[in-house]
Amino acid sequence: MVRPMHDSATAPERVRTRFEERARDFDDLYEDERWLVRTLRPGLFRRRRLAVETVAAYTAPRVLDVGCGSGRIGEFVLEAGAGHYVGVDFSEPMIDLARSRLERFADRTQLIVDDFLTAPLRGEFDVILAVGLFDYLPEPHTFSRRMFALCAPGGCVVGSFPTWSWLKGPIRKVRYEWIGNCPIFNYSRRELELMFGASGFDRVEIRSPGRSGYLVRAYRA
């Protein structure tokens, strides 16, 4: 993984600040029903579709959404039949947006404001979502290991991972890191295989649907 020049002690705090200050802007950016967003950012739609397909393949699964943000994916997976949905995000304004978006599913939804690494999560989950999360993690292995510990036998993790591209990479660097003071990270296929393998997952399925990232489904036997 490309991990240059980031102080892992301050990185999570900078990410949290960004998602606290810009919650509404991010929520708007993820509106993938709009024609323009679909055209310019087809990856958003693809990752959501994989999350929904995966949830729909289980019967009333327990779903954990790590970095659930404003609950946009949560809404779709609840509609697709999630039996119980737990969303965790360390940005309170993001969780506030999720709370109003998911109000109609309140009887099977729990939202937690906390860092995933320290959140009091108990039990096992059939599907763990990590969509748009790993972009911001200086120590991603700690996350994949905790995901494995929380994954039920027969369950899986669905995640999205940016990779460096000369088309989008420099723009993202300038926008997030230089202007926004928010660290971002990229991944290679090999790094993903190693990370999920070392965390205990038995099978790692990696798709590369576009130029700018990977979609991963990692299974626990």
Ligand X SMILES: C[S@@+](CC[C@H](N)C(=O)[O-])C[C@H]1O[C@@H](n2cnc3c(N)ncnc32)[C@H](O)[C@@H]1O
Using rule CB under 6 A, residue 73 touches ligand X = yes
Residue from 11, 14, 19, 187 in contact with ligand X (CB under 6 A) = 19
CA atoms lying within 13 Å on the CB side of residue 7? 5
Contacting ligand X within 108-147 (CB under 6 A): 115-116, 131-133, 136
Closest CB 46 distance from ligand X, rounded Å: 12
Stretch that binds ligand X, among 61-69, 102-110, 150-158, 182-190 (CB under 6 A): 61-69
Nearest to 214 by CA among 172, 160, 165: 160
Nearer to ligand X, 61 or 132 (CB): 132
Q: Does 216 bind ligand X (CB under 6 A)?
A: no
* Pick 47 or 62: Cβ nearer ligand X: 47
Q: Which of 153, 158, 85, 88 is nearest to 128 (CA)?
A: 158
Cα 81 → chain centroid: 19
Among the listed residues 52, 55, 94, 147, the single contact to ligand X using CB under 6 A: 94
Rg (CA), the chain: 16
Q: Give the whole-angstrom CA distance, residue 122 versus residue 109.
A: 15
CB burial of 59-86 (b: ≥16 within 10 Å; e: otherwise) equals eebbbbbbbbbbbbbbbbbbebebebbb
Q: Which is nearer to ligand X, 8 or 154 (CB)?
A: 8
> Is residue 88 within the footprint of ligand X (CB under 6 A)?
yes
90 binds ligand X (CB under 6 A): yes
For the record, the structure tokens of 63 come out as: 């779903």
Q: Does 89 bind ligand X (CB under 6 A)?
A: yes
Helix (H, G, I), strand (E, B) or coil at 219: strand
Number of H helices, E strands in the chain: 9, 7
Query: Distance between terminal CA atoms of the chain?
Result: 26
Residue 30 vs 196, nearer CB to ligand X = 30
Q: Is 43 in the site for ligand X (CB under 6 A)?
A: no
Closer Cβ to ligand X, 139 or 193, answer by number = 139
Shortest approach of ligand X to residue 221 CB, angstroms? Answer: 26
Site for ligand X contains 176 (CB under 6 A): no
Q: Is 172 helix (H, G, I), strand (E, B) or coil?
A: helix
Only one residue has tokens 């993001």, namely: 94
Under the rule (CB under 6 A), what is the footprint of ligand X? 12, 15, 19, 26, 30, 67-69, 72-73, 88-91, 94, 115-116, 131-133, 136
